[in-house]
Structures are given as C-alpha cells and as structure tokens.
Amino acid sequence: MKKILLLLLSLFLGLSSQAQEDSLQANRYVMRATLYGAGFTNILDTYLSPMEYTRPEIRILRESMRMTKLMNGNVSVQSLFQANLSLTENKAETSNEMAGMVNWNYALHYQFRLTENLKILAGPMLDLNGGFIYNMRNSNNPAQAKAYVNLAASGMVIYRFHIGNYPLIARYQANLPVMGIMFSPEYGQSYYEIFSLKNGGKNVLFTSLHNQPSLRQLVTLDFPIRSVNMRFGYLCDIQQAKVNNLKSHIWSHAFMIGFVKNFYLLKGKNKVAMPSRVSPY
C-alpha cells in the first residue's frame, strides 16, 4: 500500500510539473546575458594610412532572446548589442590609431528542434554598425567615420548536455551580411568637401558579398556556479570592405565572460536555463 501511494504521489508531482511547464507563456520569458572581454584587433583603413594597426581591444556584449507567437510559436527574436574600443600602433611604431565601434543586431530565428537537447536556428538579421577610426599622426584627414547597415543571414546551433550531473549549454552562431548600404568618402575626398563645401560624390554605396565579405562568429558555453549562471565566449569578428577605391578592415578576436539571467531567475545547477519547451536558448 505504501509503495502504491508513493507511486501515485510521484505520478501526480510529475504531471503537475508538466502542466506547469506547458502553461508557461513562452513569449514572456527572456534570456539576458552580459559579457565583458578583451582580445586582439587588426585595423586597416587606406583613407587614413596604407599600414595595418594592431593591438589589444576591450569589448562588451549584451544579448537578449525570447520566443514569439510567430509561426505557431517556433520563432525566437534575438537582440545583440556590442561595443569595442582599441588603441593601436603600426608595425613601424611611428603612429597610433584609436578606434571604437558599436554594433546592434536584431534577428528572427526559426527554431528547428531536432531533439530535446539540440536546436538549429536560422533566419534574417538586421545589422547596424557605427564608429570611428582616429589617426593621431594625420593632420589633413585625421579621422574616418564608419557607418553601414546590412541585411544578414543568421544561423545558430544550441546543444544542451551534461558532464556527469553538471548541466552545460553550448552555442555556435554565425552572421553573414548579404546586402546593405555603407557611407564612405571617395578616394582623396575630405570631410570638409563633403559636409562644408557640399561637393557631391558617391558617398552612400550599395554593398554585398562582392565588396563587403564579412562574417561574425560567436561561440559560447553556459555553466552554473552554485545559483549563478555563467557564460564564457569567443568572438571572431571579421569586418572588411572595398568601396570607392578604399580598402578597410577591422579583424577582432575576443574572449569574454559574464552572466546569464532569465526573466524569472531559476536557481540551482539543475536549472541552468528555463524549461526547454519555453526557452528561446
């Protein structure tokens, strides 16, 4: 009799937990993460100098994800903001450049749930970028403004697994700009000519894979430490373009670490994330 009661109690608790999970409104649960990191950058902008500039950079990345009601609740939305700053030097050690960039991505991903632990996400992404490069040696044209907008293709693989009883979540994401527009001065054209003298020119240009072959890749690993969910990440950010007979690139490799929080904090190492059925991640 005692065994029967225990069996019925276990069954009831299991059904209650399942019903509670199913009753959750998935689009109201948000995963947020903030990462801080440092890495190495390589900068070239032939408008300012024909030489490459290299040195360390610092970076911050903030991400949020949630499910939507689109396509029967199978589409998630991702907002990804990052900013980086670097002080670089050329190989001859004759000049320095300071660079800063801000990037914001907004993506809609359709989630293909292959198994309970494996997801593949794919969809379109809006990619906004702005920043500057300042050459401390130049006098006539000391700075270059960076501004471009892309429509990108975005893909992601998310895998949940355990090492023993320790839960982990691994993610790989790649964002490929497909088409967009970019601001650039013409070769030999100064900003004084553009904005003060109002001299016309091709300063807003169409970009695609042929003149802006760029790619952002992000690898992360989520792991709990007591009641805190941590995230370790690596970012490979390859931004490059050739427009108006000017070449430019910003290649960055950064390692980051930070925290992951859900809209309702779920404590304990067995709750490294929200229930899989309602989690966008």
Predicted local distance difference test score (pLDDT) of residue 99: 98
Range 100-129 average pLDDT: 97
Higher pLDDT, 200 or 92: 92
Arch. (CATH architecture) of 28-271: Beta Barrel (2.40)
Count of C-beta atoms within a 10 Å radius of residue 168: 14
Question: Can you give the pTM of this predicted structure?
Answer: 0.84
Per residue in 13-39, pLDDT (tens digit) is 443 344 344 445 666 788 999 999 999
Q: Exposed, middle or buried: residue 120 (CB in 10 Å: 0-12, 13-18, 19+)?
A: middle
Predicted local distance difference test score (pLDDT) of residue 25: 65
Q: Which of 16-25, 123-132, 139-148 has the highest mean pLDDT?
A: 123-132
Picking from 45-54, 81-90, 194-203, which range would have the lowest pLDDT averaged per residue?
Answer: 194-203
Secondary structure of 101-161 as H, E, C letters: EEEEEEEEEEEEECCCCEEEEEEEEEEEEEEEEEECCCCCCCEEEEEEEEEEEEEEEEEEE
Query: Would you say residue 6 has pLDDT above 70?
Result: no
What is the residue whose two structure tokens read 């403004």?
A: 145
Would you kindly state where each structural domain of the chain is located, as residue ranges? 28-271
